[in-house]
Amino acid sequence: MSTDLSTPVLLRRIARLEATVGRLSADLGSLRSAVSKQGLQTPARQRGQTVAAESAMEEPHLTQAAGGFAGAAARGEAARVQWVKDGLVVPGEQLAQAWGLTRQALAPAAERGEVFAVKVGNRLYYPQSFLGMDRESVATICRALGDLGSSEKLMFWLRDHGALAGKSVAAALETGVPLAKVERLAAAWARERGAAHGARSAAAAA
């Protein structure tokens, strides 16, 4: 197979790979911040993986040499496994119990856009912050996030937002921030991320 990096096909592959690595690096940064706020220390091995991901973002040609798309997918799965270990996401059974539902009832809710789950291995996990909230509030915010990917929706729930006085969604609601304000913020987040994805897709197709 030709390794001429001037060919359009390979240039598009590199652009898509850069976008993937960029999203993974952003996800890891937000998750490190969330874990640090819980007083946990990121394991040395995980720190090494993070440094490697950040280096790949700065020098994308190294990422291709290190495994290309397969390597990026593996790093994405490793990050999801770490979410489970850090307790940032919980199994469907735990959320269903907290809400007084059967686990099977979560699937229709997900189809309606009222909740979302991230897939880790062969199981679905839900944000831990859902446990202390009522279903209607979660549904209102999740619907406002629209068609974003589950990882980006999770980032919205985990990160501290300046518009919420530097608090996460769950923490802000606990302190009395109106649900309508969080809903508007979620809709704005969805528009911003959607526009960014559109720009990256256009660049990759160019």
CB atoms within 10 A of CB 12: 14
CA distance 48 to 105: 39
pLDDT tens for the chain, residues 1 to 206 = 444 444 444 445 545 555 555 555 555 555 565 555 555 544 444 444 433 343 333 334 434 444 565 666 667 788 889 999 999 999 999 999 999 999 899 999 999 999 999 999 889 999 999 999 999 999 999 999 999 999 999 999 999 999 999 999 999 999 999 999 999 999 999 999 877 766 666 666 66
pLDDT at 196: 72
Tell me which DSSP letter residue 126 carries: E
- Among 43, 149, 122, 51, which Cα is nearest to 86's? 43
Which segments within 49-122 are labelled E, that is strand?
A: 89-91, 118-120
> Per-domain residue ranges for the chain?
1-86, 88-198
Query: Closest Cα partner for 43 from 53, 52, 29, 32?
Result: 32
168 with 161: CB under 8 angstroms? yes
pTM score > 0.75 for this model?
no
pLDDT at 4: 45
Cα(50)–Cα(1) distance, integer angstroms? 31
CA distance 56 to 36: 23
